[in-house]
Amino acid sequence: MSSLNLRVPGPTPLPQEVLTALSRQMIDHRSSDFNKLLRFVTDGLKQVYQTKNDMLLLTASGTGGLEAAVANTLSPGERTLVVSIGAFGDRVASIVTAFGGEPVKLSFPVGTAADPEKLRAALKAEPNLKTVFITHNETSTGVTNDLGTLAKVVKGEGKTLVVDGVSSLGSLPCPVDEWGIDLAVSGSQKGWMAPPGLAMISVSAQGWETIKQSKMAKYYFSLTEAKAYADRGETPWTPAVSTLYAMEVGLQMILKEGVQNVFERHAGIGAHTRRAVKAMGFKLVAADEQRASNTVTAVYLPEGAVWKELSAKLRKDYNVVLAGGQASLSGKIFRVGHLGWVSEKDVDAALAALKQVLPMPAKVS
Ligand SMILES: *Cc1c(COP(=O)(O)O)cnc(C)c1O
């Protein structure tokens, strides 16, 4: 089978250098070789996160990282502000509920970003809330929050800020220390040119203070335990060794290209993708193109188009995989992932195939 043009927002295709690294033999995770590997990956991640905070690696997908952030910062019965602009914001609220917390949801209409003034008002309305959860890049709608401005509001009120940066960190600028993000979560299979298997989470001094007070149950995802081991170059439990091999090479590639250049490449591909889908007649889900994501583009399907059929044809006849809609957007939109190891040519090939399978012009009223 010729290789897939996998244009979903994770997992993302891997460069040959990373595929080669994945064939390496196992090493023992209590060895000096592993120490060196973990330290390189941790230091590299800190450079990309632009942080001096602690960096912890958990064996999990991104959701595991979010679960760790919830379970380590909150206590049962605690109310917490969850800013949601789509399915991933909603997921954080569900995790809070599952762990016995009370999410105070601040939701915004589909396709829009969070309004900093509404955030400020919500924080003023409930001054006892200690922690705020915000999605940086909402992968379900292709909208990127103005996190720098939102973070200023949160930090101005002295709150602990937890950010779901799963589909932004590594691809979009997210200077963790400059913005004052206390916990920042990402996942290896998004922009990092690595397979699924690792959640990466940075924790600030204020983050640790909040963690000390947290009474929610945790064991596997205890960040206190993860830090105790990280300080000596280990993880508490058996790590995803192969994913670490991949992260090492992916980070080497990112650092060689230059972090700012990686961000600019994503900005260029994002703009290119939006130009292309608009030229085909599609309407972006992002209401304000200024806030459209540079890692994933979401567009409305034309009237009468059946995504299940289109996506099956794309895969069968063209080896192209695009993502459908999630939750309330299922069947109404599709999404093009353009993060990690991606070029304009990959996007163009996927859209050319889409043009072939579309039963009608893409004009959306
Ligand atoms: C992918 C993603 C996640 C995590 O999903 P997993 O499938 O658990 O890795 C969380 N938040 C956002 C914004 C994402 O894009």
Kindly report the backbone phi and psi dihedral angles of residue 41, in degrees, each rounded to the nearest multiple of 5, phi listed first: -65, -40
| pLDDT at residue number 1 | 47
- Name all residues whose Cβ lies below 6 A of ligand 1: 9-10, 61-63, 88, 135, 137, 139, 164, 166-167, 187
CA of 63 to the centre of ligand 1 (A): 6
CA of 292 to the centre of ligand 1 (A): 18
Lowest mean pLDDT segment, chosen from 25-39, 264-278, 346-360: 346-360
Ligand 1 pocket test, candidate residues 67, 140, 163, 167, most atoms within 8 A of CB: 167
**What average pLDDT score do residues 61-89 get?**
98
Ligand 1 pocket test, candidate residues 63, 145, 293, most atoms within 8 A of CB: 63
CA of 31 to the centre of ligand 1 (A): 31
CA of 88 to the centre of ligand 1 (A): 7
**What average pLDDT score do residues 341-348 get?**
96
The owner of tokens 């945790």 is: 218
CA of 167 to the centre of ligand 1 (A): 7
Convert the pLDDT of each residue in 113-164 to its tens digit. 999 999 999 999 999 999 999 999 999 999 999 999 999 999 999 999 999 9
Give 29-49 as a DSSP string: TTSHHHHHHHHHHHHHHHHHH
Residue 364 has pLDDT above 60, yes or no: no
| pLDDT at residue number 3 | 83
Ligand 1 pocket test, candidate residues 70, 139, 147, most atoms within 8 A of CB: 139
Residue 362 has pLDDT above 80, yes or no: no
CA of 62 to the centre of ligand 1 (A): 5
Give dist(CA 164, CA 140) in Å, integer: 13
DSSP strand pairing (160-164 vs 143-144): unpaired
**Using a CB cutoff of 8 Å and minimum separation of 24, what contacts does 152-155 make?**
152/116, 152/179, 153/116, 153/119, 153/120, 153/123, 154/119, 154/123, 154/180, 155/179, 155/180
| Residues forming beta bridges with residue 202, ordered by sequence position | 55, 184
The SS3 of residue 88 is: helix
Convert the pLDDT of each residue in 37-73 to its tens digit. 999 999 999 999 999 999 999 999 999 999 999 999 9
Residue 360 has pLDDT above 70, yes or no: no
Convert the pLDDT of each residue in 215-272 to its tens digit. 999 999 999 999 999 999 999 999 999 999 999 999 999 999 999 999 999 999 999 9
Q: Is residue 349 packed enough to be buried (19+ CB in 10 Å), middle (13-18) or exposed (0-12)?
A: middle
Residue 104 has pLDDT above 90, yes or no: yes
The sign of the CA dihedral 334, 339, 341, 342 is: positive
What is residue 9's DSSP assignment? S
Closest listed residue to residue 282, CA positions, set 293, 268, 297, 266: 297
Q: Which comes out higher in pLDDT, residue 362 or 207?
A: 207
Closest listed residue to residue 154, CA positions, set 186, 126, 181: 181
296 Cα nearest atom in ligand 1: 15
Give 300's pLDDT tier (boundaries 50, 70, 90).
very high
DSSP strand pairing (131-135 vs 160-164): parallel
Total residues belonging to the chain:
365
Q: Whole-model pTM?
A: 0.97
CA of 218 to the centre of ligand 1 (A): 20
Give dist(CA 292, CA 85) in Å, integer: 13
| pLDDT at residue number 363 | 58
Identify whether the C-beta of residue 184 lies closer than 8 Å to the C-beta of residue 202. Answer: yes
